[in-house]
C-alpha cells in the first residue's frame, strides 16, 4: 500500500513540481490526490470565511454571495499618516544614567517609571481601500453552490445554478498586469444582470468616467490611533495636519462585455443581458517612499491607476489568466510536500477542519497548510513591494488590531521564517529592503533617544519606518513599548538571506552595513555590571512581568535572556559576515571581545532557562511570549547537539510555559520543539494550531487556532501564525543552522512516510527526499553553489555513483555551516558542555555548483 501511495505521489510531483529532480522528468500523469484547494458549499458569512487573493500589492477578500457578492479590497501601501517624526520627545537620553543607577540599586519600579518617560509616538495604521459590491439579479433559488480557492493557480471561483442556468465568477490578482480581474459568466446567452458599486470606510467619492468605467478616489487619515488607544476624542483624523495630509488613493473599475449592455451612473455600473463580463480593477496610492509626504510629495495615483488599466486593455481574459498563472507558479511550484492522502479531502474545508479538530487524521490538510502559507506569502509579499504586515495585506478595518503594523518582538519576523526554507527567497526582499528604511530612521532614534551610534528599532514599525519606542510620550507600558532590540532581531534576516543564497554582493553592499549598524548600537547600549559582564539596562522581556524575591512586580530590569541572546546572535552573524568578506578586522575583533563578555545564559532552580537577570518568578508563568528561547529558535545559540545542557533547560522552560497560547505562540512552539528534535510534540502543537475557531453558534466560537478560511486566529486574525506554522513544518523536515543539513530532525510518528521536494537549506542546497518509517529512502541534494556538504541523519545512505561518501570527521570547511566553536559558547561557568550526542550518522562530501547528488537509504532497491 505504501508503495502505491508513493507511486501516485511521485507521478503527481513530477507533474506539478519544478524542483531540479522533477525537471528531469517528462511524465505528465495527473492525480487528484493532493488537490490544493480550499472549498465550501455556501457563501462566506463573515470575513474569516471569505477567501484571500493577492499579488503582493493588491489584495481582495472574496465572500462569494449569490445575489450580493462582496469583494473587500486592499492596496499594500495605503496607510494612515506620513513620514515618521524622529525626535518627538527631545532630551530623554538624560534619563538613562538615572535608570541604570536605579536598576543596580534594585529599585525596579523607579526604573520602570523613568523608562516610561523615554517614549515616542505610536505607529500609523494599515488602512482598507474599500469594497466592490456586485448585486446580481437571479430569479429563483440558487442550487449547486460551490466556491473555492485554488492555490495551485491562485484563482478563486464561485459557481451556482439558478433555473437551469449556471453562473460562474472567477477572480485572480495579476502581478504581470497589476490588476484584480473578475470574470462573470452565464451558461445561457444574455442571462447576466448585475450592478457594480464601490464604497470605502475612508473618505471617498465616486465618479463616472465613461459608460463602462467608474472611479473611486479618496484619502487615508492623517492620523489613526491604534485600536487599543481609547483616550482621544478623535482617534481618526483626516487632513488637518498642516505639514502633510493623508495618502490619496484611486480605484478604477472597468467592465468589458461580449454582449448585452453596460451603463454607468452615480451609483456605479449596470450590466444587463450579458453572457460574459470581465471587470478590471486598477488601484494605486500616492505613496512615494517612507520619507516622502504622501500628499505634497506623493505620486500621481490617478495616473498610475489609469496606466495599469490602459496597458492591459488589449489583452484577453484568457491571456491575462495564463500570464498570471505562469508568473505565480514560477514560485509556487518550486516546492511540494506529500504526507499521505486523506478521505476528508472530499469535504468542504470548514467541515474538514472541524473533523480534524475532533481528532481525525488528515495528513493532506497538514501539507495543504504548508502550501497555503506559501500561497499567502507569494500573494502578500512581492519583490519591490512593502513587507507583509500583521494581516499580510488583507484588512477591512480603519483601526485594525494592533494597527496591522510590523510588530518586531516576534510577529514581523515570524512572517518571514518560511521565506528562505520553502524556496521563496524573493518574497523575503520587501522585508529586507524595509530594514534599510528602518535603519535610516533608526539612526536618528538611536541618537535622539539614547545618544548612541548605529541604529535601533523598537517594538513597532510601520510603512513610515517608525523606529521610536512607542507609547505616546509616556502612556505605553514599558513591557512592550521600551524594547530596543527590534533592529538587532531584524538584522538576523539579512544574514539568513545570505546564508541561503550565498549572494556575496548582497552581503557586502546591502546586508553587512546594516548588520554593522545594528551591532554598533548594541555595543553602545551594553554596559558593564559589577562583575565586568556586559549587560543591557533598562531591559524588558516582551511582554512579561517578573516578581522579585520581595514580591515586587515589575517589567524593567537588567540583561533579560532575550536581549543577551539577540545580541549574541547579531554579534556572531556580524563576525562571520566580516570573515566571509575578509574585511573590517578591527570591528570584528571588538565584537569578538564584547561577545566573550556578554552576561551568560543561566539555568534556574526549576531546571529551566532563566528569562530574567535573577531567578525570579513570572506573574504569568504561561505567558504567550517565550522570548528567552530566542537562542533555540530563530537563533542558533542553543542546540541539542552542541549545547545539550541548555537544550534541556529550554525544554524545561517549554514544559513550564505549557502548550497554550495565541495562534503565533503555538506556531513558535512548533519551531521550538522541532529544534529540540521532538517531532511528536511539534506535531501536537501543529494539530492545536489547526483547531477550528471563529464559527459562531458552535463550540468553535473563539480562541486561537484556525478560521474556516485557514487564516490563523490570534484571535483575531493575524497572519504570523500561518507563516510560523509553515516554517515549523519545514523545520520538522530539514534543519541547517547547526553545522549540517539535518534530514528529518523532528519527524513525528504521524508522518512516518512522506516525500518533500524543493526544500532549501543554508549553503544554497535544495533537498528532495522520500522517507519511510521515519528513515530517508531516497535523497537528491542539489548544490546551487557547490562546496562542501555535510549531511546529518539517523540512518545510513549509499550512493551508487558520486560522491564517494565518507563519514565526516573534523572541522567542516563550508563557511555556511560554520558553527561557533564550543568554547565561544561557554555561556556560564557552572554548566558543563557534554560532547554532541552520538546518535546520528554524518556524511561529508564535496559538491560542484549546479550539480545534483542522489542517494538511497539502506535496504532500498
Ligand atoms: C504583540 C503580542 C500580541 C499581538 C501583537 C500584535 O504585542 O504580544 O499578542 O500578537 O503583538
* 801-837 pLDDT tens trace: 555 555 444 444 444 554 444 333 333 333 334 444 4
Q: How many CA atoms lie within 13 A of 189 on its CB side?
A: 2
Is residue 246 a part of any domain in this protein?
yes
CA 693 – ligand 1 centroid, Å: 19
- Alpha-carbon distance of 561 to 609, in angstroms, equals 9
Which pLDDT does position 700 carry in this prediction?
Answer: 78
Same domain, 569 and 448: yes
- Assigned domain for 820 exists: yes
- Please compute the mean of the pLDDT values over residues 220-231 and round it to a whole number: 97
Flag whether 251 is in a domain. Answer: yes
The answer to whether residue 617 scores a pLDDT higher than 50 is yes
d(CA 406, CA 716): 16
- 389 pocket-lining for ligand 1 (C-beta < 6 Å): no
Confidence at residue 839, expressed as pLDDT on a 0 to 100 scale? 67
**DSSP secondary-structure letter at 277?**
E
Q: Which residue puts its alpha carbon closest to atom 10 of ligand 1? A: 411
Structural contact between residues 40 and 348, judged by C-beta atoms closer than 8 angstroms:
yes
Q: What separation in Å is there between the alpha carbon of 236 and the centre of ligand 1? A: 22
Give residue 298's domain range. Answer: 37-80+125-332
Confirm or reject: Cβ of 714 under 6 Å from ligand 1.
yes
Q: Is the CB of 662 under 6 A from ligand 1?
A: yes
Q: Is residue 145 part of a domain?
A: yes
Q: State whether the beta carbon of 411 lies less than 6 angstroms from ligand 1.
A: yes
244 Cα to the center of ligand 1, angstroms: 30
pLDDT above 90 as % of the chain: 85
Per-residue model confidence (pLDDT) at position 799: 78
CA of 536 to the centre of ligand 1 (A): 23
Does the pLDDT value for residue 701 go beyond 70? yes
CATH code, domain carrying 574 = 1.50.10.10
Minimal-distance CA residue to ligand 1 atom 6: 402
Q: Which of 405, 411, 471, 722 to mutate to test the pocket of ligand 1 (most atoms within 8 A of CB)?
A: 411
Chosen domain end from 290, 317, 332: 332
pLDDT at 256 over 50: yes
- Whether 440 and 300 map to the same domain: the answer is no
Q: Which three cell numbers stand for residue 569?
A: 546572535
Ligand 1 pocket test, pick from 125, 718, 723 with the greatest ligand atom count within 8 Å of Cβ, gives: 718
Q: Are residues 302 and 438 in the same domain?
A: no
State if residue 480 touches ligand 1 by the CB under 6 angstroms criterion.
yes
Alpha carbon of 100 to ligand 1 centroid (Å) = 27
Whole-number pLDDT of residue 842: 79
Greater model confidence, 242 or 290: 290
Judge if the beta carbon of residue 407 lies within 6 A of ligand 1: yes
Find the range with the poorest average confidence among 465-474, 507-516, 694-703: 694-703
Domain membership of residue 97 (yes or no) is no
- The CATH number given to whatever domain includes residue 820 is 2.60.40.1180
Average pLDDT for the chain = 91
- pLDDT, tens only, 549-591: 999 999 999 999 999 999 999 999 999 999 999 999 999 999 9
Q: In terms of residues, how long is the chain?
A: 861
**What does the alpha-carbon distance between residue 258 and residue 274 come to, in Å, rounded to a whole number?**
7
Q: How far, in Å, is the centroid of ligand 1 from the Cα of 730?
A: 24
Rounded CA separation 271/41 (Å):
27
In which element (H, E) is residue 255 found? strand 248-257
pLDDT of residue 242: 66
In this structure, are 46 and 183 located in the same domain?
Answer: yes
pLDDT at res. 32? 36
List Cα–Cα distances, 613 to 558, 596, 609, 631, in angstroms. 6, 18, 11, 16
Integer Cα distance of 726 and 720 in angstroms? 10
pLDDT at 19 over 90: no
Alpha helices by DSSP H, listed for 636-699, are 644-657, 663-675, 679-689
Atom of ligand 1 nearest to the CA of 714: 10
Determine the Cα–Cα distance for residues 768 and 709; give it in Å rounded to an integer. Answer: 30
Q: Residue 401 CA: which ligand 1 atom is closest?
A: 6
CA of 704 from ligand 1 middle (Å) equals 13
Q: Please report the DSSP string for 51-65 in residue order.
A: EEEE-SSEEEEE---
Which residue in the block uniquely carries the three cell numbers 550565498? 502
Pairing of strands 553-554, 546-547: antiparallel
Last residue of a domain, one of 286, 305, 332: 332
Beta carbon of 390 within 6 Å of any ligand 1 atom = yes
Nearest CA to ligand 1 atom 1: 407
Based on the fold, state whether residues 22 and 64 are members of the same structural domain: no
Asked if 176 and 324 sit in the same domain, the reply is yes
Looking at the fold, whether 816 and 753 belong to one and the same domain comes out as yes
Q: Are residues 443 and 302 in the same domain?
A: no
* Domain final position from 600, 617, 651: 600
| Residue of 410, 661, 721 to test ligand 1 pocket, by largest number of atoms within 8 Å of CB | 410
253 closest CA partner among 71, 66, 57: 71
406/465 Cα distance (integer angstroms): 9
Determine which residue's CA is closest to atom 8 belonging to ligand 1: 543
Q: What's the 122 CA to ligand 1 centre distance in angstroms?
A: 15
Same domain, 197 and 52: yes
Give residue-wise pLDDT tens across range 41-82: 999 999 999 999 999 999 999 999 999 999 999 999 999 999
Exposed e or buried b per residue across 161-171, where buried means at least 16 C-beta atoms within 10 angstroms of its C-beta: bbeebebebbb
Residue 835 lies in a domain: yes
Inside any domain, residue 730 = no
User: Is 732 contained in some domain?
Assistant: no
Q: How far is the CA of 403 from the centre of ligand 1 (A)?
A: 11
**Residues 258, 138 share a domain:** yes
Co-location of 24 and 47 in the same domain: no
Assign 702 a pLDDT band (cuts: 50, 70, 90).
confident
How many structural domains comprise the chain? 3
- Alpha carbon of 409 to ligand 1 centroid (Å): 8
Amino acid at each position: 500500500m505504501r508503495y502505491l501511495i508513493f507511486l501516485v505521489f511521485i507521478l503527481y510531483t513530477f507533474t506539478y513540481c519544478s524542483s531540479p529532480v522533477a525537471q528531469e522528468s517528462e511524465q505528465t500523469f495527473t492525480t487528484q490526490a493532493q488537490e490544493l484547494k480550499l472549498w465550501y458549499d455556501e457563501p462566506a458569512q463573515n470575513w474569516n470565511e471569505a477567501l484571500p487573493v493577492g499579488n503582493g500589492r493588491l489584495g481582495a477578500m472574496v465572500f462569494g454571495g449569490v445575489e450580493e457578492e462582496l469583494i473587500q479590497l486592499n492596496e499594500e501601501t495605503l496607510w494612515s499618516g506620513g513620514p515618521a517624526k524622529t525626535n518627538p520627545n527631545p532630551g530623554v537620553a538624560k534619563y538613562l544614567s538615572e535608570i541604570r543607577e536605579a536598576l543596580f540599586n534594585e529599585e525596579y519600579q523607579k526604573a520602570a517609571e523613568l523608562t516610561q518617560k523615554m517614549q515616542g509616538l505610536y505607529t500609523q495604521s494599515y488602512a482598507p481601500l474599500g469594497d466592490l459590491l456586485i448585486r446580481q439579479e437571479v430569479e429563483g433559488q440558487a442550487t449547486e453552490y460551490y466556491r473555492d480557492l485554488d492555490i495551485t493557480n491562485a484563482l478563486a471561483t464561485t459557481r451556482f445554478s439558478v433555473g437551469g442556468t449556471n453562473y460562474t465568477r472567477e477572480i485572480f490578482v495579476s502581478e504581470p498586469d497589476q490588476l484584480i480581474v473578475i470574470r462573470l459568466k452565464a451558461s445561457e446567452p444574455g442571462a447576466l444582470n448585475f450592478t457594480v458599486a464601490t464604497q470605502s470606510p475612508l473618505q471617498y467619492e465616486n465618479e463616472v468616467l465613461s459608460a463602462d468605467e467608474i472611479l473611486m478616489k479618496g484619502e487615508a487619515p492623517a492620523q489613526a490611533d491604534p485600536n487599543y488607544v481609547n483616550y482621544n476624542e478623535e482617534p481618526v483624523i483626516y487632513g488637518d495636519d498642516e505639514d502633510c495630509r493623508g495618502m490619496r488613493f484611486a480605484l478604477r473599475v472597468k467592465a468589458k462585455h461580449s454582449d448585452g449592455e453596460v451603463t454607468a451612473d452615480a451609483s456605479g455600473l449596470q450590466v444587463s443581458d450579458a453572457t460574459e463580463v470581465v471587470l478590471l480593477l486598477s488601484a494605486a496610492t500616492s505613496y512615494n517612499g517612507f520619507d516622502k509626504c504622501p500628499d505634497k510629495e506623493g505620486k500621481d495615483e490617478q495616473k498610475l491607476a489609469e496606466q495599469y488599466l490602459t496597458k492591459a486593455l488589449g489583452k484577453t481574459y484568457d491571456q491575462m489568466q495564463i500570464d498570471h498563472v505562469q508568473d505565480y507558479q514560477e514560485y509556487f511550484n518550486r516546492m511540494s510536500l506529500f504526507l499521505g492522502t486523506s478521505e476528508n479531502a472530499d469535504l468542504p474545508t470548514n467541515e474538514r477542519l472541524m473533523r480534524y479538530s475532533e481528532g481525525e487524521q488528515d495528513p493532506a490538510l497538514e501539507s495543504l497548510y504548508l502550501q497555503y502559507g506559501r500561497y499567502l506569502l507569494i500573494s502578500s509579499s512581492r519583490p519591490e513591494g512593502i513587507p507583509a504586515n500583521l494581516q499580510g495585506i488583507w484588512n477591512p478595518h480603519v483601526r485594525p488590531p494592533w494597527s496591522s503594523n510590523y510588530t518586531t518582538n516576534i510577529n514581523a519576523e515570524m512572517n518571514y521564517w518560511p521565506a528562505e526554507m520553502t524556496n521563496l527567497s524573493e518574497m523575503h526582499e520587501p522585508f529586507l529592503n524595509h530594514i534599510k528604511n528602518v535603519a535610516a530612521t533608526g539612526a536618528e532614534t538611536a541618537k535622539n533617544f539614547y545618544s548612541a551610534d548605529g541604529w535601533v528599532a523598537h517594538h513597532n514599525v510601520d510603512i513610515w519606518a517608525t523606529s521610536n519606542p512607542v507609547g505616546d510620550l509616556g502612556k505605553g507600558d514599558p513591557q512592550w513599548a521600551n524594547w530596543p532590540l527590534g533592529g538587532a532581531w531584524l538584522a538576523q534576516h539579512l544574514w539568513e538571506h545570505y546564508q541561503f543564497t550565498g549572494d556575496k554582493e548582497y552581503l557586502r553592499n546591502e546586508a553587512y552595513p546594516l548588520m554593522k549598524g545594528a551591532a554598533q548600537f548594541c555595543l553602545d547600549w551594553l554596559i558593564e555590571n559589577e562583575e565586568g559582564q556586559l549587560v543591557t539596562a533598562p531591559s524588558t522581556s516582551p511582554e512579561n512581568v517578573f516578581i522579585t524575591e520581595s514580591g515586587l512586580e515589575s517589567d524593567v530590569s537588567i540583561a533579560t535572556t532575550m536581549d543577551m541572546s539577540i545580541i549574541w546572535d547579531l554579534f556572531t552573524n556580524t563576525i562571520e559576515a566580516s570573515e566571509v568578506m575578509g574585511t573590517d578586522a578591527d570591528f570584528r575583533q571588538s565584537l569578538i571581545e564584547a561577545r566573550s563578555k556578554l552576561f551568560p545564559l543561566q539555568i534556574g532552580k526549576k531546571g529551566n532557562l532563566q528569562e530574567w537577570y535573577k531567578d525570579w518568578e513570572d506573574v504569568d508563568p504561561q505567558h504567550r511570549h517565550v522570548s528567552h528561547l530566542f537562542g533555540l529558535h530563530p537563533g542558533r545559540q542553543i542546540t541539542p547537539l552542541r549545547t545539550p545542557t541548555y537544550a534541556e533547560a529550554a525544554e524545561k522552560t517549554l514544559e513550564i510555559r505549557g502548550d497554550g497560547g495565541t495562534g503565533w505562540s503555538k506556531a513558535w512552539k512548533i519551531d521550538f520543539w522541532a529544534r529540540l528534535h521532538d517531532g511528536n510534540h511539534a506535531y501536537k502543537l501543529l494539530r492545536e494550531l489547526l483547531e477550528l475557531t471563529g464559527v459562531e453558534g458552535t463550540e468553535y466560537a473563539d480562541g486561537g487556532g484556525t478560521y474556516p478560511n485557514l487564516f490563523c486566529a490570534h484571535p483575531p486574525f493575524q497572519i504570523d501564525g500561518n507563516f510560523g506554522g509553515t516554517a515549523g513544518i519545514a523545520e520538522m523536515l530539514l534543519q541547517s543552522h547547526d553545522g549540517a543539513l539535518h534530514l528529518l530532525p523532528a519527524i513525528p510518528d504521524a508522518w512516518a512516510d512522506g516525500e518533500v521536494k524543493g526544500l532549501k537549506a543554508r549553503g544554497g542546497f535544495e533537498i528532495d527526499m522520500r522517507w519511510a518509517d521515519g528513515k530517508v529512502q531516497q535523497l537528491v541534494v542539489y548544490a546551487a553553489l557547490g562546496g562542501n556538504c555535510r549531511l546529518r541523519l539517523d540512518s545510513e545512505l549509499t550512493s551508487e555513483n558520486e560522491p564517494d561518501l565518507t563519514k565526516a570527521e573534523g572541522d567542516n570547511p563550508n563557511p555556511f555551516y560554520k558553527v561557533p566553536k564550543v568554547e565561544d559558547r561557554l555561556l556560564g561557568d557552572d554548566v558543563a558542555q557534554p560532547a554532541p550526542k552520538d546518535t546520528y550518522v554524518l556524511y561529508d562530501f564535496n559538491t560542484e555548483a549546479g550539480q545534483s547528488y542522489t542517494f538511497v537509504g539502506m535496504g532500498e532497491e
